[in-house]
Amino acid sequence: QKEVEQDPGPLSVPEGAIVSLNCTYSNSAFQYFMWYRQYSRKGPELLMYTYSSGNKEDGRFTAQVDKSSKYISLFIRDSQPSDSATYLCAMSISSGNTPLVFGKGTRLSVIA
Amino acid sequence: DGGITQSPKYLFRKEGQNVTLSCEQNLNHDAMYWYRQDPGQGLRLIYYSQIVNDFQKGDIAEGYSVSREKKESFPLTVTSAQKNPTAFYLCASLKGADGTEAFFGQGTRLTVV
C-alpha cells in the first residue's frame, strides 16, 4: 500500500459545481496536511494547510482532515474554469524541514 | 520579490552527458528539496538538504547528485547513470523550525535527445 493514495482522475465538472477531492494515507504519524494546486507546466502552489484533524475554510475552498479514518478532502464551491488544474495532496510528520509526501495529483477540468 | 528561481526552463541533453539544473532561493529558507514529476507519478523526492553542507538521499537518488555550498543554492546534477532522465524537475524550499509550507520553483523540463 502506498503511503498516500489519490485518485488521478481526470475529473470533469460543469462550472458552478461543488468539487470534492480526496486522499487517503497509511501513516498515522502524519500531522500536517496540505493541498497544492498546479497549473500545466508550472510549479505547485500552496492552496490550503491544516494541522491535525478538523476543517479549514478559505473563500470557496474547504479542507477537511479526519485522522481517525486517515482521510483528507478538499471541497471547491462554485467551481470556475480557472480552477482547472492538478490538485496534489501532501502531508508530513512534523513541521520544520521534514520532507513532504505527495499524492499523485488529481487533474480537474471545470467546463464553462 | 522573494522566491525560488529554477533555470533553465527547458533543457536538452544528449545521452551520456551530465547536466546541472540550477535552483536559487532568496527566502532565507534552511531546507531545500528536489522532486521529479512524471505523468501519473506525482512528485518523487530525489534529494533534500536541511542545512548548508549537508544533504540526504530521497526515494529516487540513484543517478543524481547535489551540493549545498550556500544557503541560497541547491543545484542538481543529472548524471549519465540516470537511465530515464526525461522528466519535469521541481525545486522547493521550506522554512526552518516552524515551517511546513513548501515554496516551489517553476520547474525545469529535461529531455534526453
Report pLDDT digits (tens) over B57-75: 999 999 999 999 999 999 9
For A86-105, the DSSP string reads EEEEEEESSSSSPPPEE---
Percent of chain B with pLDDT over 70: 93
Give CA–CA dist A78/B74, Å, rounded. Answer: 40
Contact B45 A99 (CB under 8 A): yes
- Residue B46, CB-side half-sphere exposure with 13 Å CA sphere: 28
Backbone angles phi, psi at B13, to 5 degrees: -130, 140
Give CA–CA dist B38/B82, Å, rounded. Answer: 14
| Residue of B98, B100, B105 lying closest to A92 (CB–CB) | B100
Bond from prior residue into A8 cis (ω within 30 degrees of 0):
no
Written as tens digits, the pLDDT of chain A (112 aa) is 578 999 888 999 999 999 999 999 999 989 889 999 999 989 999 999 888 888 999 999 999 999 999 999 999 999 999 999 999 999 988 765 578 889 999 999 999 9
Contacts of residue A112, defined as CB under 8 A and 6 or more positions apart, other chains included, come to: A15, A81
Identify all chain A residues contacting B101, using CB atoms and an 8 Å cutoff: 34, 46, 49
Identify all chain A residues contacting B41, using CB atoms and an 8 Å cutoff: 104
Range list of β-strands (E), B26-107? 31-38, 42-51, 54-57, 64-66, 76-78, 87-94, 102-104
Nearest C-alpha neighbor of B90 from the set B74, B101, B106:
B106
Give CA–CA dist A85/A38, Å, rounded. Answer: 6
Q: In angstroms, what CA-CA distances link B52 with B22, B49, B55, B61?
A: 16, 7, 8, 19
Give CA–CA dist A19/A106, Å, rounded. Answer: 11
Nearest C-alpha neighbor of A32 from the set A61, A4, A60:
A4
**Is pLDDT of B100 > 70?**
no
**Is pLDDT of B97 > 60?**
no
CB A102 within 8 A of CB A4: yes
CB A22 within 8 A of CB A8: no
- CB proximity under 8 Å: A 23-82 to B: 32, 34, 36, 41-46, 49
Q: Which helix (H) or strand (E) is B5 found in, with range?
A: strand B4-7
Task: Report residue B99 as a C-alpha cell.
Answer: 515551517
Contact B100 A95 (CB under 8 A): yes
Which amino acid is it at A53?
S
